Structure formats: structure tokens, C-alpha cells
Amino acid sequence: MHKFLEKIKSSEQKPYVIKNFISLDEVKLFQKLYNELPVEINNRRQKIIKKKWSVDFDLNLQKIYLDKLRLNLDNFKMDNPKTKDGKDSLGLFQESFMPVSLHVDSGFDFSKVIFKQTLLPLSDMGETVIFKNRFYGCATTFSISPEELKANGYNKRSSEHIDLYGGKSFDENTHKNYLNHEDINNLKGLEVDLIYKWKLGDLLIFDRTSLHCASSNLINKKLGLTSLTIKL
Ligand SMILES: [Fe+2]
């Protein structure tokens, strides 16, 4: 459990979207950067390619990105896992061919004051579902499938969420329209806060304590950049 719970909770907010965070020309710069970066992880099981934005790549775009983030977020520091070469990173590009399942990106260091995470859409189509429910343990993928619970990955695997949020059945329509890649029983007690339809140029900001997942409406593939922050 995170140590500075009160501090973490005091900066919690509803998820929100910054319209026109970057221009469409800048979107192209991010897409170009993605193509140039080395692959960090190619997970064939989850059909996802991950590339970390090492501080060695594109200083000019780093300045653009950080300046714009600072205009929109108060007193934060980046908190992205380092690259496999041990370099600091500005975020994680994820190209996914399958919807990512329910999880939280709360990190593994309970002495940090985890703050916001951002999602910069870099493909036209995509949808992300943010839940009202919060989690104050480590970064976890939530599942009730014995197979998934046995799987290895960066996140811890757990079904502890089922006992945390009251166990009310999840709304069937929302499940059918947005979350049919999830077992509806894995969503017990969850309440949707925001279904964000990706738009190029936008930035989605939400708390690192928020449970979230991709929507099942994934056509072919999507590409986005996520950054994790802590509060200064
Ligand atoms: Fe995430």
C-alpha cells in the first residue's frame, strides 16, 4: 500500500481531456519518433509492441512535450520506468493490436506520491475506459481468469479487486458496447467514469490510482504515448 495516501488522494480528480494539446504537425513528429525508436517489448501473447522514449531521442520534441505538459500540470516529475539500457524515459509508446485488459499503473515504489498519467493518441481510432474505482497497491492487472493470474508480466496479477468495490453486477449494455474483451464478472463493482474516444492532438489526463482498460472497439491497431508522473 502506498505510504503517502492522503497526499495522493488530495490531488485526485476526474479524468479530463486537453483539446489541441499538440498540433497535427506535431502528431507527425511523434509518429516519426515512434518509427525510429528501438523495440523494448514485443509481447505476442498480448499483441502489443512497446517502445520507451529514451532521453537520447529527439531533444527538440522532448522540449515541446515537456513545455506543454508543464503548462497543463502543476509540480510534477516524470516517473517512467527506465529503458533496458538504463536511460531515463519520457514515456511509453504502445502499439496494440488487441484491447489491453483491466489494470492500474500505480508503480511499485510505495514511498512515491503517484500523481497523473497522460495518454497522447497517435492513431485516429482508439477508445480508453477509465473507471471511478481506485487502487492503492502496486501496478496490477486485474483478472479472475486462472490462466491470466498465472501469467508473468511487468504488472502483478490479482483478483483482489473483486472484494474491494462491493461486487455489484456490471452494467450489461456498457459491457456489450465497450468492454466485451473482459469477462463481465471481472468488472463486478466497477463504475465507468469516462469513455474517452481518441482524437489526434488531444491529451487525456487521469490519476495513476484509477482502474482503466482499453475499450473493445479496436479496429486493426492503435498507437499511443503514455507518461507517468509523481507529485513534487
Ligand atoms: Fe494503463
CA of 173 to the centre of ligand 1 (A): 23
Q: Which pLDDT score, from 0 to 100, does residue 153 have?
A: 83
> What is the model's pLDDT at position 2?
80
Cα(32) to ligand 1 centroid in Å equals 23
Q: How far is the CA of 103 from the centre of ligand 1 (A)?
A: 6
Q: What is the pLDDT of residue 129?
A: 98
Cell numbers linked to 129 = 475506459
pTM: 0.95
**C-alpha distances out from residue 147 to 48, 152, 158, 185, 216, Å:** 18, 10, 11, 15, 20
Which pLDDT value is given to residue 151? 87
Distance 212 CA to ligand 1 centre (A): 6
Q: Which three cell numbers stand for residue 24?
A: 497535427
Q: How far is the CA of 58 from the centre of ligand 1 (A)?
A: 24
Gap from CA of 228 to ligand 1 centroid (Å): 9
Residue-level pLDDT at 1: 83
Q: How far is the CA of 63 from the centre of ligand 1 (A)?
A: 24
Q: Would you state the cell numbers that stand for residue 216, as one nine-digit string?
A: 473493445
DSSP state letters, 52-72: EEETTS-HHHHHHHHHHHHHH
**CA 119 to ligand 1 center in whole angstroms:** 9
Q: State the CB neighbour count (10 A cutoff) for residue 42.
A: 12
Distance 213 CA to ligand 1 centre (A): 7
Q: What is the pLDDT of residue 154?
A: 87
How many whole angstroms from 95 Cα to the centroid of ligand 1? 13
Domains and CATH numbers, the chain: 5-231 (2.60.120.620)
Cell numbers found for residue 28 = 507527425
Give 126-185 as a DSSP string: -EEEEEEEE--SSSEEE---HHHHH---SSEEE-GGGGTS--PPPPHHHHHHH-TTS-GG
Q: How far is the CA of 120 from the centre of ligand 1 (A)?
A: 12
- Give, for all 232 residues of the chain, the pLDDT tens digit: 888 999 999 999 999 999 999 999 999 999 999 999 999 988 888 899 999 999 999 999 999 999 999 999 999 999 999 999 999 999 999 999 999 999 999 999 999 999 999 999 999 999 999 999 999 999 999 999 999 999 888 899 999 999 999 989 999 999 999 999 999 999 999 999 999 999 999 999 999 999 999 999 998 999 999 999 999 9
